[in-house]
């Protein structure tokens, strides 16, 4: 039977989510703990991947097992077994064909920045040393709303059938003194997309790119067009949404 | 001339505030950076000391120099020179006899705890694995208000003329899901006092100590009477208050 598992992690110490040879990844830690507790090899499937150093307030993965365990109990034991930078919030039974990646209808990321040095937020936000015009950045961000080809903001060499994504929300907001957050929701994200968007918005914010320039970058649908990617530490996956019928009692 | 300097730090990596031989301390870092920038040996005097691993959202120190610098500019250069876990918020001119420690009239600490695993708060809060009755803990905490001899909550062997302190505020409050904060304000604190109080309140919260027991611990004025000290990582000095006339233009 299949279960969805909801987890959070501080990605600082990991080579991202996705399991890979010779690297410490969140998925490798999760699969290893699940396999130990369920006494059989478990291979989870994530809702997506987060890159090296990127965090998740809420990542979702599914896994198959013969069942026979109490979900809340497994959740507790898993959280106890995993290192202090990974926590499991919930494990729920889903239909056997529910898929953590293909059934996700919306993902939301936060990119947090610090305009002044902050010893307490430094692990989860990027320090910016120049002034930013947030109104300009929000005018540019609004151009992302709706359905577009996001190739300009996609890591070159990535193979996907289409680079079209629908962005539902994209805006900067102050969250505390000296700290701003970029919140972006879409049906899907291409590799490196949020960091490429944020990096390019920085160049709008500091005046090197006009709103019209930003529009041209987006329309170009060509990776060379965008600015540098913003650093990993400010980025967190904060929500993965599914159709509610997926969580009806099975 | 004398200046007050307001700083914050993540204490995780330091052997506390106070300068000492063969140990990395916040004051040692500060004095070294100040001495470099002002090109003469500077010895700061802190409002108090924080122990190994304890944080400060706001610590105050004073230092003397021949002056001749712009305060805002020194503040920026100092913050740039100090490591990422220490930030200087403000430097202000004060009268030559103003004293960071002796003139402080009120200090406030927060002790933050996590009732569930939280990868993002773990550096600045203590994870508690048992249930706590916060109402009981607040009834006990209220007994601390006013002026008492706090010897029961003082590190044994500490030499002070008197162990009397006046507590203005002492209560637990929820701050976010699965997270509680103990906030305590007093005119002064003895060494280890907050952590000894919090550790003893934990034993009230888990039912091992009654309110009457807690009252007896306080009245005993004897260090052996209190419970174990709570770990350092949950503790932050959050405010040091001075009479406003100290900050009038000199």
At B134-173, the pLDDT tens digits run 999 999 999 999 999 999 998 766 667 889 999 999 999 9
Phi, psi dihedrals of residue A36, rounded to the nearest 5°: -65, -50
For residue A26, give how far its alpha carbon lies from the nearest alpha carbon of chain B (Å). Answer: 13
Q: How many residues does chain A have?
A: 250
Q: Tens digits of per-residue pLDDT, A4-55? A: 999 999 999 999 999 999 999 999 999 999 999 999 999 999 999 999 999 9
pLDDT band at A250 (very low <50, low <70, confident <90, very high): low
What predicted TM-score, i.e. pTM, was given to this entire model? Answer: 0.89
What does the CA dihedral A232, A55, A16, B10 come to, rounded to 10 degrees? Answer: 70
Which letter does DSSP use for residue B133 in this model? -
Are A125 and A233 in contact by the 8 Å Cβ rule? The answer is yes
d(CA B171, CA B189): 16
Contact residues for B223 (Cβ-Cβ < 8 A; gap 6+): B151, B152, B153, B154, B155, B156, B196
Between chain A and chain B, how many beta carbons pairs sit less than 8 Å apart?
45
For residue A130, give how far its alpha carbon lies from the nearest alpha carbon of chain B (Å). Answer: 13
Across the interface, do A118 and B87 touch by the CB < 8 Å criterion? Answer: yes
DSSP assignments along A85-102, one per residue: TEEEEEEEEE-TT--TTT
| Percentage with pLDDT > 90 across chain B | 89
Out of A9, A79, A119, the one facing B10 most closely (by C-beta) is: A119
Q: Which of chain A's residues have a Cβ under 8 Å away from the Cβ of B118?
A: 8, 87
Are B168 and B135 in contact by the 8 Å Cβ rule? The answer is no
Nearest Cα to B242, choosing from B103, B93, B108, B95?
A: B103
Q: How many CB atoms lie within 10 A of CB A190?
A: 22
Across the interface, do A79 and B117 touch by the CB < 8 Å criterion? Answer: yes
d(CA A123, CA B162): 41
Question: What was the pLDDT predicted at A40?
Answer: 95
For the stretch B243-249, contacts whose Cβ atoms lie closer than 8 Å and that sit 24 or more positions apart, written own/partner, are B243/B103, B243/B105, B246/B4, B246/B94, B246/B95, B246/B98, B246/B103, B247/B4, B247/B92, B247/B94, B249/B93
Across the interface, do B119 and A87 touch by the CB < 8 Å criterion? Answer: yes
Task: Mutate one of A81, A120, A131 to test the B interface: name it (highest B CB count within 10 A).
Answer: A120
Greater pLDDT, A225 or B243: B243
Q: A 63-102 residues with CB below 8 A of B?
A: 79, 84-87
Check pLDDT > 70 for residue B216.
Answer: yes
Q: How many CB atoms lie within 10 A of CB B73?
A: 11
d(CA A247, CA A5): 12
Out of A85, A116, A120, the one facing B119 most closely (by C-beta) is: A85
What are the tokens at A81?
């077994």
Q: CB of A8 within 8 Å of any CB in chain B?
A: yes
Question: What was the pLDDT predicted at B246?
Answer: 81
Q: How many CB atoms lie within 10 A of CB A94?
A: 19
Q: Tens digits of per-residue pLDDT, A75-94? A: 999 999 999 999 999 999 99
Out of B57, B84, B119, the one facing A8 most closely (by C-beta) is: B119
Where do the H-state alpha helices sit in B8-156? 26-38, 71-81, 134-142
Task: Mutate one of B120, B124, B125, B177 to test the A interface: name it (highest A CB count within 10 A).
Answer: B120
Q: Which of chain B's residues have a Cβ under 8 Å away from the Cβ of A84?
A: 117, 119, 122
Question: What was the pLDDT predicted at B159?
Answer: 65
Across the interface, do B84 and A117 touch by the CB < 8 Å criterion? Answer: yes
Are A181 and A173 in contact by the 8 Å Cβ rule? The answer is yes
For residue A143, give how far its alpha carbon lies from the nearest alpha carbon of chain B (Å). Answer: 32
Nearest Cα to A234, choosing from A194, A189, A176?
A: A194
Check pLDDT > 90 for residue A132.
Answer: yes
Across the interface, do A9 and B118 touch by the CB < 8 Å criterion? Answer: no
d(CA A103, CA B41): 64
Average pLDDT over residues B42-46: 97
Q: Tens digits of per-residue pLDDT, B178-213? A: 999 999 999 999 999 999 999 999 999 999 999 999
pLDDT band at A249 (very low <50, low <70, confident <90, very high): low
Q: Is A13 helix (H, G, I), strand (E, B) or coil?
A: helix
Check pLDDT > 70 for residue B249.
Answer: no
d(CA A7, CA A18): 14
**Measured CA angle at A53 (ends A49, A54), to 5 deg:** 50
What are the residue numbers of the active site of B? 51
pLDDT band at B250 (very low <50, low <70, confident <90, very high): low
Check pLDDT > 80 for residue A127.
Answer: yes
Residue B151: C-alpha distances to residues A101, B49, B188, B210, B223 (Å):
59, 18, 13, 20, 6
Q: A 46-65 residues with CB below 8 A of B?
A: 55, 57
Q: Which of chain B's residues have a Cβ under 8 Å away from the Cβ of A55?
A: 119-120
Q: CB of A116 within 8 Å of any CB in chain B?
A: yes
Q: Which of chain B's residues have a Cβ under 8 Å away from the Cβ of A116?
A: 87
């Amino acid at each position: 039977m299949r279960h969805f598992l909801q987890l959070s992690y501080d990605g600082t110490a990991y080579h991202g989510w996705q399991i890979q040879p010779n690297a410490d990844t969140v998925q490798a830690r999760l699969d290893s703990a699940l396999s130990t507790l369920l006494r059989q090899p478990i291979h989870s499937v994530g809702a997506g991947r987060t890159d090296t150093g990127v965090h998740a307030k809420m990542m979702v993965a599914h896994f198959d097992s013969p069942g026979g365990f109490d979900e809340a109990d497994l959740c507790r034991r898993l959280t106890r077994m995993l290192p202090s930078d990974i926590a499991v919030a919930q494990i729920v039974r889903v239909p056997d064909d529910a898929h953590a990646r293909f059934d996700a209808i919306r993902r939301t990321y936060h990119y947090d920045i610090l305009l002044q040095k902050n010893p307490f937020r430094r692990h989860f936000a990027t320090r910016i040393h120049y002034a930013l015009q947030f109104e300009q950045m929000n005018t540019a961000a609004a151009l992302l709303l709706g359905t577009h080809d996001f190739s300009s903001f996609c890591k070159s060499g990535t193979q996907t059938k289409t680079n079209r994504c629908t962005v539902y929300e994209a805006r900067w907001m102050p969250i505390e003194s000296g700290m701003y957050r970029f919140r972006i929701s879409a049906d899907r994200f291409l590799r490196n997309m949020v960091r490429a968007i944020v990096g390019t918005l920085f160049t709008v914010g500091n005046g090197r790119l006009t709103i019209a320039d930003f529009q041209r970058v987006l329309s170009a649908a060509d990776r060379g067009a965008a600015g540098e990617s913003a650093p990993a530490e400010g980025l967190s996956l904060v929500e993965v949404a599914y159709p509610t019928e997926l969580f009806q009692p099975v």
